[in-house]
Amino acid sequence: MALYFFTPFIAIILTILGGGIIFYILGFNPIEALKFYFLTPISNLYGLSELLLKATPLCLIAIGLSFCFKSNNWNIGAEGQLTFGAIVGGGVALLFYNQEGFYILPLIIIAGAIGGMIFALIPAILKTYFNTNEILVSLMLVYVSKLLLDYLVVGPWSNPEGFNFPETRQFSDSSRMPLLFEGLRIHTGIFLALAAVMLSWFVLYKTYLGFQIKVSGLSLKTAKYAGFKGKTMILVVFMISGACAGLAGVGEITGPIGQLHRMISPDYGFTAIIVAFLGRLNPFGIIFASLVVALTYLGAETAQIFLQIPKYTGQVFQGMILFFLLASDYLLFFKVKILSLKKNELRH
Partner 1 sequence: MSLDISFIGILIGSIMASSVPLILAASGELITERSGVLNLGVEGMMIIGAISGFALMVITDNLFIAVVGSMLSGVIISIIFGFLTQSLLTNHVATGLALTIFGIGLSAMLGKNFVGIPGKEFPILFSSLKESIPFFGPILFGHSIVLYFAFALPFLTNFFLKKTKLGLVVRAVGDSPVSASNQGINVILVRYCCILYGGAMCGLAGAYLSLIYTPQWIENMTAGRGWIALALVVFATWSPIKVLIGALIFGGITILQLHMQAIGFRIPVQFLSALPYLMTIIVLVVISRDSRKIKLNTPTSLGRIFYKEK
Q: Which residues bind partner 1 (CB under 8 A)?
A: 22, 26, 74, 76, 126, 130-133, 135-137, 139-141, 143-144, 147-148, 150-151, 154-155, 270-271, 273-274, 277, 308-310, 312-320, 322-323, 326-327, 329-330, 333
| 99 Cβ neighbours under 8 A, 6+ residues apart | 172, 174
Cα–Cα distance for residue pair 112/225, rounded to 1 Å: 37
Please, which residue, 143 or 202, has the CB nearer to partner 1? 143
Closest separation in Å from C-beta 195 to partner 1: 27
Closest separation in Å from C-beta 265 to partner 1: 15
Please, which residue, 98 or 131, has the CB nearer to partner 1? 131
| 124 Cβ neighbours under 8 A, 6+ residues apart | 73, 134, 234, 235, 237, 238, 239
| 60 Cβ neighbours under 8 A, 6+ residues apart | 192, 193, 196, 244, 245, 247, 248, 251
Please, which residue, 4 or 74, has the CB nearer to partner 1? 74
CA distances from 266 to 90, 140, 156 (A): 18, 18, 24
Please, which residue, 171 or 317, has the CB nearer to partner 1? 317
Closest separation in Å from C-beta 34 to partner 1: 15
Please, which residue, 206 or 231, has the CB nearer to partner 1? 231
Closest separation in Å from C-beta 168 to partner 1: 16
Closest separation in Å from C-beta 132 to partner 1: 4
Closest separation in Å from C-beta 137 to partner 1: 5
| 284 Cβ neighbours under 8 A, 6+ residues apart | 197, 201
Please, which residue, 96 or 119, has the CB nearer to partner 1? 119
φ, ψ for residue 197 (rounded to 5)?
Answer: -60, -50
Longest CA pairwise span in the chain (Å): 81
